[in-house]
Structure 1
């Protein structure tokens, strides 16, 4: 005889913490696996494996609270012992859409609680899906974090490219790229910076990061040589310095220690200094060499008499 049980989420929550899941499932006329899936789908926390075999005092520890019901779900749950002839029609998401949905849920956890809060169970609850579904798309929390970091890097590159598109001169493109980077940090609330706070994730991404940076350094120094006659080694060093300065400005912006406006002013001052010194490097070096007495080594080039460009103080002083 088919039986139908109507339970609220609170009632189901109380039941799964009162006895082993497989015993409760037998009373309801379904399998333990089916009951676990119902709990996951309805975001009802339940004991994990080994919970009932632990000491009684261990089981008195606080259990996880019952979170709000997932979107578009009622508080009432109908559990039938009859096996459905066919599953009800569901709107299936594409692979890319589902991965993005899960990554978006994980991003909210990272921004709210830090990268350490990202576990497969926590992400499943945030996304309103089962933990098994999350594992279907990502093999581990680190795999999910790596996907998120690569997605953020691609978005950042796209925003930078959009800013650089109208320009042809390297130094103008470099300044536009820094503006695009700061726009990205502001719009994405420093998500990439928060992700890279994980040492484990940074180590996992190190090989591809080094490869990407080596390629960017080569391209940048070659363009500076072709457009302004700046030696390759000078151009490469200048690019690394500019990138380090931009990265630091992005971290300050992401942490709220620097506003978007002040970060932009700081970037502009840095780029103006770079434009003056890098572009004038060949001419200054040539003058120093021509002014040197015959047979003597040219004196070491000094900074222009105008002195360094002073960046605005983030504190407004």
Structure 2
């Protein structure tokens, strides 16, 4: 009796979006492992295990791929951003939740955003969107802090810019020291809200701050994860 040869299972064909996601995931892996300099379409195709002809069907140039990667990161950020809050959300609640989401993002995906921002040509692609996103966040915090603490616009803008940008610089170091994103966010939130109240007393128009009680959920910060020495 002749035994029929076993057939090799045929892999299901990926949809166009699934293939794009596969390529972008491979590009992310390549960038994090070898740096942005090695992110060419040929190298990405090799990492993804596909032909150069196939990758060119989805991305006609390196810049187009980098734009897609940036768009994906900003899409993730928008999903965790300030637009999700109803207009009447208390200011301290906005700061608490937005800060936690920001630190979680930076711990999880900050490395790829830093790499994308480190290249001069990529910076030119990044700057318009980055400026747009930061301006929207700044306007949000300026408006909220003016109404909550009675701050003049210029003071509100100074504090908003510091509040938005500080986690971007701090998250990498905090992670290296073994602090969790939850602990980092909690300590930073208390620092920011306390600072805003102090600035309101110093520069405000005498309006009673419209804030709810803090220190209700976690009276003490969680212990940090021991860092490697």
Give the TM-score normalised by the residue count of structure 2.
0.74
Report the Cα offset of residue 112 of structure 1. Answer: 1.3
* 2:40 corresponds to which of 109, 119, 124: 119
* 1:257 corresponds to which of 151, 176, 186: 176
Say whether the 8 Å CA contact 2:151–2:200 is kept in structure 1: yes
Q: Aligned residue pairs: how many? A: 203
* 1:138 corresponds to which of 48, 56, 59: 59
Structure-2 residue corresponding to 1:169? 90
Instruction: Could you tell me which runs of 5 or more consecutive residues in structure 1 were left unpaired when the two chains were aligned.
Output: 1-72, 74-88, 289-313
* 2:103 corresponds to which of 182, 199, 209: 182
Choose between structure 1 and 2: higher helix proportion. 2
* 1:275 corresponds to which of 185, 193, 207: 193
Alpha-carbon distance between aligned partners in 2 of 1:122 and 1:189, rounded to the nearest angstrom: 23
Give the TM-score normalised by the residue count of structure 1.
0.55
After superposition, the Cα gap between the structure-2 partners of 1:201 and 1:251, relative to the gap in structure 1 and judged at 3 Å, is farther
* CA offset digits 1:252-283 (Å, max 9, x no partner): 35xx523342x544443333232123234344
SS of equivalent to 1:196? helix
Alpha-carbon distance between aligned partners in 1 of 2:110 and 2:197, rounded to the nearest angstrom: 34
1:196 aligns with 2:114: no
SS of equivalent to 1:153? helix
After superposition, the Cα gap between the structure-2 partners of 1:196 and 1:286, relative to the gap in structure 1 and judged at 3 Å, is closer
Alpha-carbon distance between aligned partners in 2 of 1:221 and 1:230, rounded to the nearest angstrom: 9
Structure-2 residue corresponding to 1:213? 134
* CA offset digits 1:148-205 (Å, max 9, x no partner): 122012113323469968x922233123222112212333372222222222211222
CA RMSD, 1 decimal: 3.4
Alpha-carbon distance between aligned partners in 1 of 2:110 and 2:124, rounded to the nearest angstrom: 23
* CA offset digits 1:262-313 (Å, max 9, x no partner): x54444333323212323434444699xxxxxxxxxxxxxxxxxxxxxxxxx
Alpha-carbon distance between aligned partners in 2 of 1:117 and 1:286, rounded to the nearest angstrom: 51
1:128 aligns with 2:46: no
* CA offset digits 1:203-222 (Å, max 9, x no partner): 22212221222222112211
- 1:1-317 to structure 2, matched below 5 A, reads 91-160=12-81, 168-188=89-109, 190-252=111-173, 257-261=176-180, 264-285=182-203
Say whether the 8 Å CA contact 2:151–2:204 is kept in structure 1: no
* Large movers: runs of 4+ above 6 Å: 162-165
Instruction: Could you tell me which runs of 5 or more consecutive residues in structure 2 were left unpaired when the two chains were aligned.
Output: 1-7, 207-225
Alpha-carbon distance between aligned partners in 2 of 1:279 and 1:196, rounded to the nearest angstrom: 34
